[in-house]
Structure 1
Amino acid sequence: MKKKQWHGWGPGDPAEQHYLVHPRALAGGGDIRHVGEFLRASGWRDHSKEDGPLAMMSPDRTVRIAYDPHGRPGGWAINGAADGLNNSWSAHLGRETPVEIVAGLTDALTLPRSAHAPNVWAPLEEQRWHARVEGEHYTAASPDGTAWMQYRQSPDGSARWWSGAKDSRGTAWTATFTPTTPMHLVQAFAAALASPDPVMRPRGHVPLSAEVRTWSVSVTPSQLSAWQQARITAARAATWARNSAQSARPRTAARLRTAAGAAKTRR
């Protein structure tokens, strides 16, 4: 995937049939460029091999994101190194985890943390998920029962976050997070999981599931490219603003120190 860019198409493209899929948790994996292009536009380094699995590294080299559909167990592997605030952490999301839900977590890695304390259950409660206590486990399930989020505690005292989606045929995908995973990232994942908005899939890429509802829509390749480009442009703008603010701080501090020194000299 290295150095590959999202290319648009010219005007007058014939419309193509796509589907809006609900619930999003059962929409299938989707196009991984939804995740990778956003990270690249946010300044992440692309270490993917030519035509190989996706591999991205954060600008500060503390977080690595990889997607490998052929490995075992396969899917998304996200690993964070220990820093001054957190121990090392990791998350694994199955290969059929919708990219829009994956992006809930990965997009949050590019954003400054909120000043508010994170609450994983808040976005689930807002969407009227059903919560219950099962022994040492605390679980919230979607109203239709197709998705869940669980905080699991084992008899040995270890704990982890566990999520996933299922239909009448069985489990579609699961996601696990180590207990050291920063809570604001787990919350961002939960918010994307619980979102009631459908996601779009091209014809032939909608899972065959009795629990899935679809609406047929006609879109042109140019429209699809424009929507993706808007997401990339937003990432670039946020990155530019963040980098500009960071580069301005030392100069501002230096000016303040110089002004303070001049004031003392005048005294």
Structure 2
Amino acid sequence: MKRKQWQAWGTGEQAEQQYLVEPRALAGGGNLRHVFEFLRASGWRDKSKSRGPLLMESPNRTISVSYDPHVLPGGWTIHGKASGHQEEWWVNLGRQTPVEIVAGLTDALTRPRSAHAPDVWAPLQEQRWRTASNAEHVTAVSPDGSAWMQFHQDPDGLAMWWSGVKDQPGNGWTASFSATTPMHLVQGFSAALASPKPVMRPRGRVPHSGRIRTTSVSVLPSQLSGWQQARIDAARAAAWARNSVRSNRPLTTARTPTRAHR
């Protein structure tokens, strides 16, 4: 285990011990607020009920993000209703999926789609994941062999994506995507999954695993809250910009045809 001291100005604060964990896919679930507070700041509505699952709904009410710890196996469910040319879709992610990886997908729900065609494999190839294929599926495996991303197509032509990590009991997880899940969301997930950046966990919340590497760091509470607030502020700024564009669009109304006088 490495140890690192982070310096910062501050008076009257006691530094707290945190750990940078890598690979991030094995870091455990993390703080749910990382996902839900970003959605709230992006204009999503909190539809959670007492003693029920946590639930957020998109401004247009077509997409929901929920986390249910009260059922087995529990975890995340992201659901999109049929809308326009988009068919109904869903994503299920296990309880131990790190929130930073969940956010790769849920953050993408708040942004306009890119004009470029999504490429799910590109983020994995950039991080040197190994790829193998056969007649039914293509699988990419992380360099350390702990995580995978797979595209599977059954004999009837139904295609779906599947992902997850292998670790000691209690720290593994899987993610499954419907065949109709928008590809830019799957790409957001794969990019967050393959990212080499470590994620931070407090003392006592680091999974027991021989496959992870940790770096001990001392962090002031004001630093931690500042980083969290910066993420929320970025979501609010983006939401404000989107709403401003909509409100400034010129209104077009159909002209009522008039009968010419003779």
Query: How many angstroms does 1:146 deviate by?
Result: 0.8
Cα deviation per residue 1:39-76 (whole Å; 9 max; x = unaligned)?
00000000112464310000000001100122133100
1:166-198 CA-to-partner distances (Å, cap 9, x unmatched) read: 125587000000010000000000000000000
1:161–1:177 Cα contact (<8 Å) kept: yes
State the 1:247 CA deviation.
0.9
C-alpha contact (below 8 Å) 1:75/1:95 kept by paired residues: yes
* Gap change, CA 1:171 and 1:221, over 3 Å in 2: closer
Q: Structure 1 residues 105-114 or 168-177, which shifts more? A: 168-177
Q: Which segment drifts farther, 77-86 or 23-32?
A: 77-86
Aligned to 2:12: 12
Please state whether the residue corresponding to 1:106 is helix, strand or coil: helix
1:157 alignment counterpart: 157
Question: Shift of the alpha carbon at 1:19?
Answer: 0.1
Question: Cα gap change, 1:22/1:92 in structure 2, threshold over 3 Å: closer, same or farther?
Answer: same
Identity among equivalent pairs (%): 68
Contact 1:55 1:66 in 2 (8 A): yes
Task: In structure 2, give the amino acid aligned to 1:53.
Answer: P
Task: Give the aligned CA root-mean-square deviation in angstroms.
Answer: 1.9
8 Å contact kept, 1:68–1:76: yes
Q: Is the 8 A contact 1:164 1:171 kept in 2?
A: no
2:58 is aligned to: 58
**What's the offset of the Cα at 1:156?**
3.6
TM-score normalised by length of structure 1: 0.88
Unaligned runs of 5+ in 1: 1-9, 259-267
Whole-angstrom distance in 2 between the partners of 1:239 and 1:168? 40
Do the aligned partners of 1:130 and 1:141 also contact (CA within 8 Å) in 2? yes
Tell whether 2:23 aligns with 1:23: yes
Instruction: Tell me, yes or no, if the aligned pair for 2:96 and 2:171 is still in contact at 8 Å.
Output: no
SS in structure 2 at match of 1:250: coil
Distance, in Å, in 2 between the alignment partners of 1:230 and 1:222 is 12
Structure 2: unaligned runs, 5 residues or longer: 1-9, 256-262
Q: Choose 24-33 or 82-91, whichever is displaced more.
A: 82-91
Residues 153-162 or 164-173, more deviating? 164-173
For residues 127 and 201 of structure 1, the distance between their equivalents in structure 2, rounded to whole angstroms, comes to 23
